[in-house]
Amino acid sequence: MLSLDRLAPIDNFGHSIKTVSYLYRPSTVEQIVELFRLAERHGLTIALRGAGRTYGDGALNAGHIVLDMRRMNRILDWNPETGMIRVEPGVTLQQLWQHTLEDGWWPPVVSGTQFPTLGGALGMNIHGKNNWKNGTLGEHVLEFEALLPTGETVSCSPTCNADLFYSLIGSAGLLGVFTSITLQLKKLYSGNVRVSAWATPNLREMLTDLDRFKADYDYIVGWVDGLNRNGRGQIHAADYLREGEDPHPTQTLRVEYQTLPDTFFGVVPKSMMWLGMRFFMNNPGAWLINTAKYLHARTLEHNKQYLQSLVAFNFLLDYVPNWERSYGPEGMIQYQSFLPLETAAETYLEMLRLCQRRGLPTYLGVTKRHRPDKFLLTHAVNGYSLAMDFKVTRSNRARLQQLADEMNQLVLQAGGRFYFAKDSTLTPEVAARYLGEETLRRLRALKERCDPHSLLQTDLYRRLIRPNFERLAPNVCAGPALTANVVT
């Protein structure tokens, strides 16, 4: 038995799933090798964890070992001429841009928060508000090294060990451990982006605009009022400034210029904001906020542009530290689905209305435009995504799961996909239907090759993947039996 001193409470980003695990924080590859052997000796499994920004159970491992990778956070090599950077997996997006921005380089793909680690971001193969144009983060990886649970180290790029390259990226930490990552960054000529914002009276028009105007911008994203029957909302779009457009690039590319302020309106400390937000995390409160936001959006003119720092535009959610805690003690979940161009508008409208009818409207809805990619466990399609945040309470957990089950069927009928980074409600059957038998067979073959003793596991693996492996061929990849603690 491992020392009880190692036991630590670990939860998901939304604080809706609470677990206890043996927590280790390796700082070298050799320590990870030792930890694999330790797990094997004790009949335990290992989950990799970056900054724990995954909404569901993708970085949890109840009763087993969790490796927090954040001590492996060195920048190994940086070339300010070419924008090529090699980092350890615990380096965060924030650490990355803070290191490179003054030289005029920025990560080509970022999530809506700057706190994920590069290892975690590649584990899920994150996308940004520019997915239709720049693809996922994995598409900007030149090379990575990974340690497999067999003890083997592999070096992968789109041309060397390409099968492992396109399967380890996005494999939710189930095939190997990224130990170094080489990325190509994007050249910039200003620390500002030029932003346009406009209101959209309904969801159909929002999706049409996301598609119609995407060629004019580098980023585009929609906010949906989940309490409105027609899904009215607002679009924000932005583009980079071209060389010579910013009269003071040296200043705007400084870290201090980008850093988000500590107070709101110069008075309210941001660290306290989530507490105040609690008053609005109910149906009438969310209605009030959304209505005010929409009415304000209607005063904006599409053609009137303004400048905003890259950080303020990309990481709006980071403005309010711990905002997810405003949902209350049982936390929140996010439900994100990806639908093809042809079916998205009708299906998303049906989903919004279904949530409203069930008395469980989303308090935050976000739409994006996407394109497909070559990764084995891809979540993207040529179409749109809608991410919906839901408050979890003791009394609504079961109803939320029922709602998710109903929405899953709508998504499947519409030819859609899901994203492990956001999921806590899929069932093995739904996962099998969207991933497909062929993908599951390839994943199982890779799992046998990279991790023959199924040492790398997470609660998500046991909830969605392992039952499918067992169905495909009994007794393959059957690690120790465990109970995942998920929203039901």
Ligand X SMILES: Cc1cc2nc3c(=O)[nH]c(=O)nc-3n(C[C@H](O)[C@H](O)[C@H](O)COP(=O)(O)OP(=O)(O)OC[C@H]3O[C@@H](n4cnc5c(N)ncnc54)[C@H](O)[C@@H]3O)c2cc1C
The owner of tokens 């046998």 is 448
d(CA 291, CA 289): 6
Question: Considering the complex, what minimum distance in angstroms separates the CB of residue 242 from ligand X?
Answer: 25
Contact indicator for 147, 450 with CB cutoff of 8 Å: no
d(CA 409, CA 412): 5
Whose tokens are 């093995």? That residue is 428
Asked whether 129 and 366 are in contact (CB, 8 A), the reply is: no
Footprint on residues 70-109 left by ligand X (CB under 6 A): 89
Among 32, 124, 169, 237, binds ligand X (CB under 6 A): 124
Least spacing, CB of residue 81 vs ligand X, in Å: 28
Which one of residues 36, 132, 178, 348 is an interface residue with ligand X (CB under 6 A)? 178
What is the C-alpha to C-alpha distance for residues 138 and 143, in angstroms, rounded to an integer?
10
- CB of residue 217 vs ligand X: minimum separation in angstroms? 16
CA 237 – CA 134 distance, rounded (Å): 15
In the complex, minimum distance from the CB of residue 27 to ligand X, in angstroms, rounded to a whole number:
13
**Site membership for ligand X, residue 325 (CB under 6 A):** no
Where do runs of H (alpha helix) occur along 213-340?
Answer: 249-252, 255-258, 273-277, 283-298, 310-314
Token pair of 68, please?
A: 């927090």
Only segment of 79-87, 173-181, 275-283, 408-416 that touches ligand X (CB under 6 A): 173-181
Q: Pick one of 15, 53, 194, 370: the residue that binds ligand X (CB under 6 A).
A: 53
Q: How far apart are the first and last CA of the chain?
A: 30
Nearest distance from C-beta of residue 250 to ligand X, angstroms = 29
Consecutive H or E run containing 223: strand 219-224
| Backbone phi and psi for residue 237, each to the nearest 5 degrees, phi listed first | -135, 150
* Binding status of residue 64 toward ligand X by CB under 6 A: no
Decide if residue 238 touches ligand X (CB under 6 A).
no
Query: Taking CB under 6 A as the rule, does residue 164 contact ligand X?
Result: no
Nearer to ligand X (CB atom), residue 35 or residue 51: 51
Shortest reach from residue 370's CB to ligand X, in Å: 10
- Measure CA 38 to chain center: 30
Site map 11..50 versus ligand X, x via CB under 6 A: --x---------------------------------xxxx
E runs forming strands in 25-134: 46-49, 65-68, 75-79, 84-87, 105-106
Count of residues that interact with ligand X, criterion CB under 6 A: 33
Of residues 431, 338, 342, 347, the one with CA closest to residue 379: 338
Considering only residues 283 to 302 of the shown chain, the ones binding ligand X according to CB under 6 A are: none
- When asked if residue 121 is in the footprint of ligand X (CB under 6 A), the reply is yes
Cβ-based nearer residue to ligand X, 115 or 240: 115
177 near ligand X, judged by CB under 6 A:
yes
Q: Measured from the CB of residue 455, what is the shortest distance to ligand X in angstroms? A: 12
Among 44, 30, 66, 24, which residue's Cα sits nearest to residue 173?
66
* 58 touches ligand X by CB under 6 A: yes
Q: Which is closer to ligand X, CB of 72 or CB of 252?
A: 72
Task: Give the separation between CA 434 and CA 417, rounded to whole angstroms.
Answer: 6
Site string (406-445) toward ligand X, x via CB under 6 A: ---------------x------------------------
- Residues contributing to the site for ligand X (CB under 6 A): 13, 47-54, 58-59, 69, 89, 111-113, 116-117, 119-121, 123-124, 126-128, 172-173, 177-178, 317, 421, 458
